[in-house]
Amino acid sequence: MSATIYRGTLANLRRLARVLREGGLVAVPTETVYGLAANALDAKACRRIFRAKRRPAHDPLIVHVADRRTLERIAETNPAVTKLARAFWPGPLTLVLPRRPAVPAVVTAGLPSVAVRMPAHPLLRRLLRLSGLPLAAPSANPFGYVSPTTAAHVQEGLGRRIQHILDGGPCRLGLESTIVDLRDPLRPVLLRPGVITVADLTRVLGVPVRPVAPGRSTPSSMLAPGMLDRHYSPRRPLVLHRHITATMVGRAGTTEAWLCFRRPSWAGLRKNVFWLSARGEPREAARRLFAQLRRLDRDGWRRLHAELAPPTGSGPAINDRLRRAAGQRA
């Protein structure tokens, strides 16, 4: 039996809050991607997330909170947290902090740290308040596949493994949150890029934010989700290019699909050429990335090609997802 999709009425939100309090799972909208939520303080409920997604136990979950009081309940904070929270919360920023004993080990993959964020989507914020719980919620898709940005995407991937999907419309940002390791506030580390950039973080903190050291990710090195070398991947082979040209497309024939960053002047009526943003606007490109990858994957092309984004604005985050989708280390 397929999952039920609920509109965001007060009656439905109250019903889904009760499901969460009773240990159930609910797919929820966020401003980034759709998440699969459970009570973050209930180890049994959180194990249901791993089973539904077929997610390995070494990949930690992000905990979503409604307010600072809930944050203090699950994590140890510091003055740098206050600075970033004032600037970016509610919003697409996840902080890795020392965890408190209330958080079950299954949520953090046994680590002494926990990844936390305060989401901005109004329906999820209402659900957080109505449930009275912090909610653990990784992306609501089979593990490793392209992230979902609509309720229909969730239904396609997990519709027969879960029962409840809250429809909040297409995600406004379309890329997962920026993740920063803030256990040492004097040495913040960027673990995953997002629409909040290194420059944004450095400006608010007043200290440099360095990227995580390069090297192959292993279970023991994963402080947060989204750090695997292969992730967000379509089923079709994906090849990356710095630039896509008409000559490249012509040589490959018509069985391969090409995803450009912006609409190329030579696209014409070619039916195998697509783009993320007609005018090359990074935010629009980020918002459309996962939906376009899903569409191309579903349409039966023999192989997919994608063009990397310019390294400004949301470009590094787009390229991080593309490189992981293709199995290439950033």
Q: Where are the alpha helices (DSSP H) in 54-179?
A: 68-74, 79-88, 122-131, 151-158
Percentage of the chain exceeding pLDDT 90: 90
**Structural domain boundaries of the chain?**
4-221, 238-325
Predicted pLDDT of residue 214: 60
Burial class (CB in 10 A: 0-12, 13-18, 19+), 286: buried
Average pLDDT over every residue of 26-35: 98
The residue-averaged pLDDT of 210-231 equals: 71
Strand duo 178-181 + 189-192: pairing: antiparallel
Worst-scoring range by mean pLDDT, 163-167, 208-212, 318-322? 208-212
- Residue 136's pLDDT is 98
Residues ≥6 apart with Cβ < 8 Å to 1 = 160
Tens digit of each residue's pLDDT (9 = 90 or more) over 147-204: 999 999 999 999 999 999 999 999 999 999 999 999 999 999 999 999 999 999 999 9
Q: For residue range 243-287, list pLDDT tens digits in order.
A: 999 999 999 989 999 999 999 999 988 999 999 999 999 999 999
Fold identical between 4-221 and 238-325?
no
CATH 3.40.50.11030 given to domain 238-325:
yes
Residues 6+ apart with CB under 8 A from 280: 261, 262, 310
pTM, entire model: 0.94
Hey, which bits of 156-315 come out as E strands? 164-166, 178-181, 189-192, 210-211, 238-241, 256-262, 273-277, 303-307
| CATH number of the domain located at residue range(s) 4-221 in this protein | 3.90.870.10
Rounded-to-integer distance, Cα 209 and Cα 93, Å: 14
* pLDDT confidence tier of residue 220, bands split at 50, 70 and 90: very low
Q: Distance between CA atoms of 82 and 98, rounded to whole angstroms?
A: 15
Confidence label for 222 from pLDDT (cuts 50, 70 and 90): confident
- What pLDDT, on a 0 to 100 scale, did the predictor assign at position 329? 45
